[in-house]
Amino acid sequence: MAVTAALIKELRERTGVGMSACKNALVETDGNIDEAIEVLRKQGLANAAKKAGRIAAEGLSYAYITDDNSVAVVVEVNSETDFVAKNEKFRTFVEDVAKQAIKNDCDSTEAFLASSWDGEADTVNDALTEMISVIGEKLSIRRVEIIKNDGASKLVSYIHAGGKIAVVIELATSSDDAQVVQCGKNVAMQIAAMNPRYVSDDQVPQDVIEHEKSILMEQAKNDPKNASKPENILEKMLSGRLKKQLKEMCLLDQEYVQGDKESVAQYVANVSKEIGAPLSIKSFVRFETGEGIEKKEENFAEEVAKTIGQ
For 197-240, what is each residue's pLDDT tens digit? 999 999 999 999 999 989 998 988 888 888 888 888 888 888 88
107: burial class by Cβ within 10 Å (0-12, 13-18, 19+)? exposed
Considering the domain architecture, whether residues 75 and 172 belong to the same structural domain is answered as yes
Residue 245: how many CB atoms within 10 A of its CB?
A: 17
Q: Choose among 24, 84, 39, 28: nearest CA to 60.
A: 84
| Mean pLDDT (whole number) for 282-297 | 82
Q: What is the pLDDT of residue 231?
A: 83
Beta-bridge partner residues of 286: 167
Considering the domain architecture, whether residues 63 and 182 belong to the same structural domain is answered as yes
Which CATH number does the domain housing residue 105 bear?
A: 3.30.479.20
Q: What is the pLDDT of residue 49?
A: 36
Considering the domain architecture, whether residues 181 and 82 belong to the same structural domain is answered as yes
Cα Rg for the chain, rounded, in angstroms?
22
- Residue 185: HSE in the Cβ half-sphere, 13 Å Cα cutoff: 5
pLDDT band at residue 187, thresholds of 50, 70 and 90? very high
**Cα distances (Å, whole numbers) of residue 301 to 5, 8, 192, 293, 307:** 9, 11, 32, 22, 10
Q: Is the pLDDT of residue 95 over 80?
A: yes
Share of the chain above pLDDT 70, in %: 90
Considering the domain architecture, whether residues 168 and 195 belong to the same structural domain is answered as yes
CB 130 within 8 A of CB 119: no
In a domain, 75, yes or no: yes
Q: How many domains does the chain have?
A: 2
For 28-78, what is each residue's pLDDT tens digit? 999 998 898 888 888 776 654 343 343 337 999 999 999 999 999 999 999
Q: How far apart are the C-alpha atoms of 82 and 26, rounded to whole Å?
A: 30
For 8-27, what is each residue's pLDDT tens digit? 888 877 776 777 788 999 99
Which CATH number does the domain housing residue 29 bear?
A: 1.10.8.10
In a domain, 239, yes or no: no
pTM of the model: 0.75
Domain that holds residue 155: 58-199+280-288
Considering the domain architecture, whether residues 155 and 76 belong to the same structural domain is answered as yes
Considering the domain architecture, whether residues 93 and 147 belong to the same structural domain is answered as yes
304: burial class by Cβ within 10 Å (0-12, 13-18, 19+)? buried
